[in-house]
Amino acid sequence: MIRLIDAAFRYARTVLSTLVLILGAGLVAYLTIPKENNPDINIPLIHVSVSHDGISPEDAERLLIRPMEKELQGIDGLKEMRAVAEEGHASLTLEFIAGFDADQALLDVREKVDLAKSELPEDSEEPRVNEVNFGLFPVVVVTLSGHVPERLLFKLANELEDRIEAIPSVLDVVIVGDREELLEVVVDPARLESYGISGAELLNVVNMNNRLVAAGVIDTGEGRFAVKVPGLLENARDVFSLPIKVRDDAVVTLGDLSSVRRTFKDRYSYARINGEPSVALEVKKRLGENVIET
């Protein structure tokens, strides 16, 4: 120990230079290494799912899970396989050893699932095989709520989505709890009958007037330009004034036969905060980017 201390004093400049290099390298590493709330995990994880309407959990285990387990259990690099059977659905999660080639694991699983498909019931849906990437989980969830009209809340969410997606380190933004706006046409059967128009005829006219038609190509000698004739329906007024039939020199429009109003499609996702309906924006960052700066 004394000799080590003597050597340190004897080569003080070398020791100090080495110490400065170590501190400098540590500072550079601290500034450049991405900060992660959930660091990227290099453990291949594959999820396999298959659905079959009306099947019981017991039958899902016997008819869906066991044939796939039989093919998947001997796959290379497999560390653990977990299965869940429920009414109308079955899923398997395959965890591979750390560092195993994720692309190869995904390819092997798909090949084995293809072999197992012949043993599944005929009415079963096509099995889905997906890789679980922890790095693509949302790093931030922004929630919007308040006592404002639903349409305004969706508008603000879409504007905020565009601004967040403009950030270089952001990969994607997914809105949860929103609904797509649409025009609802409520047809009056009595009016249809009085004008002598069938439901099929009305539907055909609406479809024909809401179609993009290719009208050919213009060649200017310097380039070719496709010409298309757009449909007539762009807003509520166009729908309301859509001509359906000519009767006694008068044009019968869709507005004469029905009422048109703006509404929303049924929800396919829900977001709540403190029990109140809201809109959430799930922000996903690019792999390797700094989660703090994002």
Tens digits of per-residue pLDDT, 112-160? 999 999 899 888 899 999 888 766 678 888 888 888 888 888 889 999 9
Q: Give the end of a domain, one of 110, 135, 160.
A: 135
Phi and psi for 206 in degrees, rounded to 5?
A: -65, -45
What is the number of domains present in the chain?
Answer: 3
Domain hosting residue 255, numbered range:
181-264
Specify if 109 maps to a domain: yes
CA pair distance 17, 11, nearest whole angstrom: 10
Helices 2-10 & 12-32 angle (0-180, nearest 10): 90
Q: Give the end of a domain, one of 80, 103, 135.
A: 135
Q: How is 268-293 classified by DSSP, letter by letter?
A: S---EETTEE-EEEEEEEPTT--TTT
CA pair distance 91, 252, nearest whole angstrom: 55
Residues 256 and 124 in one domain: no
Digits of tens for pLDDT over the chain (294 positions)? 677 667 666 777 777 788 888 888 888 777 766 655 555 556 788 999 999 988 888 888 999 999 999 999 889 999 999 999 988 899 999 999 988 888 899 999 999 999 999 899 888 899 999 888 766 678 888 888 888 888 888 889 999 999 998 888 887 888 888 888 777 778 888 887 787 877 777 777 777 766 544 555 566 666 666 555 455 556 667 777 777 777 777 788 777 787 777 788 777 677 777 777 888 898 887 766 666 665
Question: Would you give the distance in Å from CA 208 to the centre of its chain?
Answer: 32
In 3-state terms, what secondary structure has residue 101? coil
Nearest 5°: the CA angle 278, 283, 284 is: 150
Residues 215 and 247 in one domain: yes
Specify if 27 maps to a domain: no
Looking up tokens 């929103």 gives 178
CATH number of 199's domain: 3.30.2090.10
Residues 154 and 273 in one domain: yes
Residues 167 and 200 in one domain: no
Residues 215 and 193 in one domain: yes
Residues 54 and 104 in one domain: yes
